[in-house]
Amino acid sequence: MMKMGWKALALAGIALLMLLALGLVRSLLDERQQRAEAVQHEIAQFSAGEQALGGPYLVLPYTVTVGKWQPADSGKGGRWVESQQSKQLLLSPAQLTVDGKLAVELLKRGLFEAPVYRSQLQLAGQFRIPALAAYEEKAGSDSERRSTRWGTPYLALGVDDVRGIQQLQGQAGKQTLTFVPGARLAHNPRGVHAPLALAAAEPLLSQGQVLGFRLGLQLAGSSALLVEPAGDSTTVNLAGNWPHPSFAGNFAPQSRSVDAQGFRARWQTTELATGGNACLQAKSGCEPNRVGLRLLDPVDRYVLNERTMKYAELFVLLMMGGVFLLEVMHRVSVHPVQYTLLMLGLALFFLLTLSLSEHLGFNAAYWLAALASVAMLGSYGSSVLASWRGGGVFAAMLGALYGLMFMILQSEDMALLMGSLSLFGLLALTMYFTRGIDWSSLGGGNQPDTLAVAAGDGDGDAANPPPAA
């Protein structure tokens, strides 16, 4: 048997080589994952991206004319100098209800796919419009005069990606709305707006009253649908056929149900919780509150491959230690080249899992790669250890580790506990089976007969070990 010092040095070099090989596999995984994300982005560009609805809001534009008295240079007389300022009064709904149904499907391009949806949204509520005279600016002194002229009001709806609007119709009061591009909101210009006819707006300008509205929106998008709880009191109901939603936004659903057929969720917010319309007047630097969901794939093959690669180095080191223990217990000498081939076989398992998962799905790819790895390495291990029994033990160890790693991957919440308990158990078993080995005799050169081994750990094949490598 090779001297212990040289063997330890050789194993350290093999470990570094395995780190390089696993790094190459991890680099390939990153490249494929980036390609999948790029294809998802291309699909979103082809159809429509993530959607976020803001509003609707009632916008009352007005112009303030400010006149200032400018005395003449002579000190006698003077003139009024006027300037104009354009402003907006934005009103959020007093009550807002959003009901939506999503039909989700997977759009594929080559080996990659992304979830896209078509939604049917109903938005209903009412605005409480105050007497606008309270918002008209007054002169601050005798040398100043101010007058306010109200413009044509309009209903504004923010939509992040207007390409997804397939149909939009609605009614405000008794008026049928006709929407045109551009939300014309200071905090969110993306979207659409519908002017309110002057005849319908005149009563609103003279006295406060209630304006009801109802909108029907067919909206397409991908990956996510978010809704801004714009009302003083807002209720959002969303349902769809996607069984793996990730509820997102600033507020958790008040009620939810998720099963194999889809999901259903309900949010309720108030002005006290959302902070009102503080973001409406801000042009930038204010993130509005939102509720909604993201369409996640819980069995994303690249995410699962990435989680598998997190255990790659530990997996290879455990198997390297297992081969070394079998070498000692069966009193054979395993050459560094044989160690290298065995460890490269383990590294190929991760590459094989990645490549097969792009065609078969992760679970099938994992077990097919595991069976191929156990068969190949178990057979080779029998030759290396000069014993079918030793090769069988090595194959059993390898299969058990594959099964253990798969259970850890499937139990994300329990992964740390399962991993730590497994390592503790493996260390305890190693201590038990090696308790009778005289480790001090391993550095004395090629003297396999001096090894003191626990009873019953060999078989008939170990009586005639092969020449030392």
Q: What is the pLDDT of residues 381-438, one digit of tens each?
A: 787 777 777 778 778 888 888 888 888 777 766 667 777 777 777 778 777 776 666 6
The mean-pLDDT minimum among 102-106, 361-365, 366-370, 388-392 falls in: 388-392
pLDDT reported for residue 98: 95
| CA 49 vs CA 42, 97, 287, 399: distances in Å | 10, 24, 19, 43
Task: Please report, for the chain, the start and end positions of each structural domain, with discontinuous segments joined by +.
Answer: 4-36+302-463, 49-298
User: Which percentage of the chain shows pLDDT scores above 70?
Assistant: 83
Tally of CB atoms within 10 A around 238 = 25
Q: What is the pLDDT of residues 262-272, one digit of tens each?
A: 999 999 998 88
Task: Average the pLDDT over 335-348 and give the result.
Answer: 83
pLDDT reported for residue 192: 93
pLDDT class of 449 with cuts at 50, 70, 90: very low
Q: Are strands 224-227 and 209-222 parallel, antiparallel or unpaired?
A: unpaired
Task: Average the pLDDT over 229-247 and give the result.
Answer: 91
Question: Would you give the distance in Å from CA 409 to the centre of its chain?
Answer: 17
How far apart, in Å, do the first and last CA atoms of the chain sit?
7
pLDDT over 70 (residue 5) = no
pLDDT over 70 (residue 292) = yes
Question: How confident is the prediction for the chain on average, in pLDDT?
Answer: 80
Q: What is the pLDDT of residues 166-209, one digit of tens each?
A: 999 999 988 899 999 988 887 677 899 999 875 555 555 555 68
pLDDT reported for residue 460: 43
CA angle, residues 283, 268, 127, in degrees to nearest 5: 55
pLDDT reported for residue 93: 92
Fold for 49-298, please state it. Answer: Immunoglobulin-like (2.60.40)
As beta bridge partners, residue 125 has: 96, 213
Distance CA 236, CA 90 (A): 22
Tally of CB atoms within 10 A around 405 = 21
Nearest to 103 by CA among 124, 86, 120, 91: 120
- Do 266 and 255 meet the contact criterion of CB atoms below 8 Å apart? yes
The mean-pLDDT minimum among 67-81, 166-180, 345-359 falls in: 67-81
DSSP conformation class of 139:
-
pLDDT over 50 (residue 247) = yes
pLDDT class of 440 with cuts at 50, 70, 90: low
pLDDT reported for residue 174: 86
pLDDT reported for residue 40: 75
